[in-house]
Structures are given as C-alpha cells and as structure tokens.
Structure 1
C-alpha cells in the first residue's frame, strides 16, 4: 500500500484491547457505525477477520492475537512522537508513576534514599520498583519499564545507557572469624574457608573461582542464596564467608549500617574485574523532561555514594 492511514493503527489497538466495537467506538469518540466501517477497512487491509462473533461478543482471531503486542507498541511510539512539547517541568505539580527494574540488592540499599530525594523534590511522583527476573528488553520497548538498573552484559542496539558507578567485590566474614586472624587473608586460607555465594542461576562459580583456579586452588561452596543481603546475614551468624559488592557496606545507603553490623570486610586475595552498574532506557524517553529528571536523580544518588572516576 502506498498510503497508510495511521488512524487505523490506533483503531486496531483499541479494538484489540476492548474486544468490542461499541466500547471501542465510545473510547475513540466515534459512532458504532463508524467504528464498524473502520473494522471493515482493517479487515480489508490485513486480509484477516481480526474479530469474529462468539455468542454476544467478539473474540480475536489467531492473527489478531499475534498482532496485539506489536500494534500496542507501535501505537505508543506514534503517540510519543506526535505528543506536543510541554511547558517547563514543574516538579511541584508533576504527577507521574515511574517503574524502575533492578535486582534485590539495588532496591534494598538504594530505594530509601532515592524515594526520599524524589518525595522532597516532586511529592506527587510515585515510584514502582520491579524485580529483574531476566534481561529481556521487551518491557522497556513496550513502556512497561521506565528505567532498568544493573550490570549490562549486552543491550539491544537501540537502547540508551548511562554508567552510574563502578564497584568491586569484597569478602565479608563475622567479627572474630578465624580467617581474619593473623597477618592477612591469603588465597590459600580464603579458599580453605566455607563459602556462601549469590546466584539466581544454575552456575555458582565466577571470576574469583577462575582466579583461584589459576593458583591451583578451589573454594568450597556450601550455600547458594539469591541476594547479597541474604549472604551477609548468613556470614554474620556462621563461619561462612561471603562475597559482596562494596556498596552493600557503603555509608549513607539504606540498611547498610544494619546489614554490616557484626561483619568485617576484607580485600580479596585475588584480582577480580570491576562491576559496572548502569541505567538503561528506551530512546523514546530521551526528550521527555520528566524522565530526564528521573535519570538525573538516579545518577546523582549513585555517584554521591560511588563517584565515577
């Protein structure tokens, strides 16, 4: 087709969402007959019935079901593109819900200071934190997530990224642990300890194990937990040794003093790569003033705790 009526895209999105010509017409401010004609045009354009009668209602065809998510994402893109620029951002009256996706540790240690800073600057803004079960970019593309925070191993090519801070792993053990006695933690004494490691995957070894293997050593992993806060609790109450990012012990972050109580940290006896914590967002939000303000708030908080060199 040479000329495509983009109004059909919006109509299709609403029809698939409502599953009713009458309610779709009401939502778009059209008459039922006009909406029926639009559905007829959509059927002609797509070559599929899209919605078919089932009793008193309509049900989508398999082709319509396959189009639903794609059409919704395209509609959001078009609306974002054609949305007029707003007046200068007024944080005092800004009403918006932002969804941030991160792992348990970021939420535990950074959510309280971030919420406090947001509430002070923009009291009507709501933050929603969502756990990150995987690195699927679909929620960012579809507008379900505003900002993703974490270690970015690889990102979809269109995504925007910003380094928040660099961190490194440290060892932690309870005060009085035998490993901490003597002249220092050696690789051999470290490997000989019992360890608790953090992993949500089947693989429980990592860079520290590779570094130990190069020295002919291997640590004993006794417990696997899903978050570093869990590892710190176990280390505090047992002879297990934990490996955590240093921000878990940092000052000025929620829960850090309490979580670090009864624990002593030590530099690892082997070298491990730095951890780069970044923010990730979809380019549709680049020019959105409110989203830009949120990104700056997150950057400011993270870099106050861990300045980027």
Structure 2
C-alpha cells in the first residue's frame, strides 16, 4: 500500500533541494530524511536528486513530478484541514426528512421560514413515515427522521427528544361531548374512530378503559390521525389524537382532556452517526429543535 507521507517528503525535497533543509521543514532528523529519500528512490525507480558539487539537483523525472506533487499535497492538506466556519447562507443542499404524521402541518411552515431567512438555497423534501425501519437512515436515503423511539429503532441511531405529547379527545362542534363533564363511562359509550398502522386495534386508551371495566366501540379504523380528524369533523365519531402534532388540524373542532390516566410520550428526531459532526446537519437539527420549542400547542 502506498505511503502518502512520501508525497510530503518528496514535495519538501524538491522544493528545498537539500536533505537537511527538507528535514527541518518537516521537523525530521537528517538521517530520517535520508532514509525517506532512499524509499522514494526505491518506490519511483529513479534517483530523483543527484549530487552536483555540494548540492543536489533534480533528475528529469523529479522535475516532471514537481509539477504534479504540489497540487496533490495542497489537495490532501485541504481534505484533512478542519472545516471552515459554517455559513448557512452559502449552503446549497436538499435535506430529506421522513416525518411522523402532523409534523409538516404543525412545524413545516416554521422550519421553512427559518430556511428562507438563514439558508435561502436549502430545500426540504418531506417524506411520509410508513414504518419505523432504520434502513433509510443507514443508507443515506433520508437525512433526518421524527417519531417516537422504540425497540424497532437501530441501536446505532442517534436520537434527541424534541417535546412531550399526549393524547386528547376531539369531536365536532355541537357534539354531545362538547358540553358537560366527560366521565370515562360517557367517553366509552360514544362511537370512536381509531388511527393505527398495526394489525392490533387495541392501544393505550383501550388498556386504560379496561382497567376501569370499560370498553369502547370502534366504528372505523384509519391509517392516520388526519383521516381520523376528518371523520370526526363530519360525523359523531370521537377521535383521540396527539395534542401537539395535531394542533392546526384540530382548528374548528372541540378538543377535550381524556378522562383517563395515560402516560405522555416523547417525540424525537433521529439521524445516523455519520452525519453527527456535519456542520450543515447540525444546523438542520438546531432548526428543528428551535421550531418545535417555539410551537407550543
């Protein structure tokens, strides 16, 4: 395998034309530099520098290499040099975000406003979240994801909590549950619409009702809470949805606190470790964090 340190050595020798001065330039001893020159001669099959009086002069092969070595060394140093100060105003990039339902409705506009103000050449591509497979994060198909972290998330995936959320009940204006005290029994007696991506229709609300000896009638099952809210808006169905994730979607509907003891849950953002130190991705994560902190339901 080539030793790329030899490029630095050759660059110094050709620039100085003297072993001792080249050694000082690279903070090496003269003997170490002499050994490096010997390796260079062996590797290239050319003497490179030959004695001429008290000095050394380059061979034709060395003169040819000198024109190519300089740019190679500069490029290598640029690659290994710490990144310059990040300026989002100069960033040209498309970020692919796979988001849980309701994220775009409630946080997308704030994120785009920050983008327009700070990084006008950045574009966001929002994808729906059909499952919790971490493969798109691993293979780079998506840059960032939002959702509830569970055992299905790959162990190497980085996560950061954004906010706590809870389930609330939602009905149309004028619905019987929009008036009076809502008891567990009264809540359970209504007709419900359930949103789920799982085959099992039971969830934390059904578990909480079961502890009270109650159960609810589920009249419709949909794939997301936007559809659940649409049905609740135009019928007597009761929808139970995440509060902060459905803020804008609940406009014109009656929202009530569920008469049950339920745990809240954390909505997080997720990304792959290879993007952890990327300045542009750090900026993206900070923007998402700030937008979620600002948007209080």
Q: TM-score, normalised by structure 1?
A: 0.67
What whole-Å deviation, never above 9, does each CA across 1:74-112 have from its counterpart, x for those lacking one? xxxxxxxx7754211121111111111112321232222
Cα gap change, 1:178 to 1:204, in 2 (>3 Å): same
What whole-Å deviation, never above 9, does each CA across 1:103-160 have from its counterpart, x for those lacking one? 2321232222211211211000111111222211111111111111011112322221
Instruction: Spell out the pairing of 1:1-309 with structure 2 (5 A cutoff).
Output: 85-154=82-151, 155-182=153-180, 184-250=181-247, 256=248, 259-306=249-296
- SS of 1:202's equivalent in the other structure is coil
Bigger Rg over Cα? 2
In 2, Cα distance between equivalents of 1:116 and 1:162:
22
Query: CA shift at 1:260, angstroms?
Result: 2.5
For the 8 Å contact 1:193–1:219, the answer to whether it is kept is yes
In 2, Cα distance between equivalents of 1:200 and 1:169:
17
- SS of 1:97's equivalent in the other structure is strand
For the 8 Å contact 1:163–1:278, the answer to whether it is kept is yes
For the 8 Å contact 1:200–1:226, the answer to whether it is kept is yes
For the 8 Å contact 1:166–1:306, the answer to whether it is kept is no
What whole-Å deviation, never above 9, does each CA across 1:183-219 have from its counterpart, x for those lacking one? x100001000000111122122211100101111100
In 2, Cα distance between equivalents of 1:262 and 1:161:
34
In 2, Cα distance between equivalents of 1:267 and 1:85:
52
- SS of 2:88's equivalent in the other structure is coil
Query: CA shift at 1:246, angstroms?
Result: 0.9
For the 8 Å contact 1:105–1:229, the answer to whether it is kept is yes
- SS of 1:212's equivalent in the other structure is helix
In 2, Cα distance between equivalents of 1:279 and 1:83:
30
In 1, Cα distance between equivalents of 2:80 and 2:218:
54
- SS of 1:276's equivalent in the other structure is strand
Any gaps of 5 or more consecutive residues in structure 2? 4-78
In 2, Cα distance between equivalents of 1:97 and 1:176:
45
What whole-Å deviation, never above 9, does each CA across 1:199-244 have from its counterpart, x for those lacking one? 1221222111001011111000011112212211211111001001
For the 8 Å contact 2:172–2:254, the answer to whether it is kept is yes
Any gaps of 5 or more consecutive residues in structure 1? 6-81, 251-255
Size of the aligned set, in residue pairs, is 221
What whole-Å deviation, never above 9, does each CA across 1:43-89 have from its counterpart, x for those lacking one? xxxxxxxxxxxxxxxxxxxxxxxxxxxxxxxxxxxxxxx77542111
Cα gap change, 1:83 to 1:293, in 2 (>3 Å): farther
Q: TM-score, normalised by structure 2?
A: 0.70
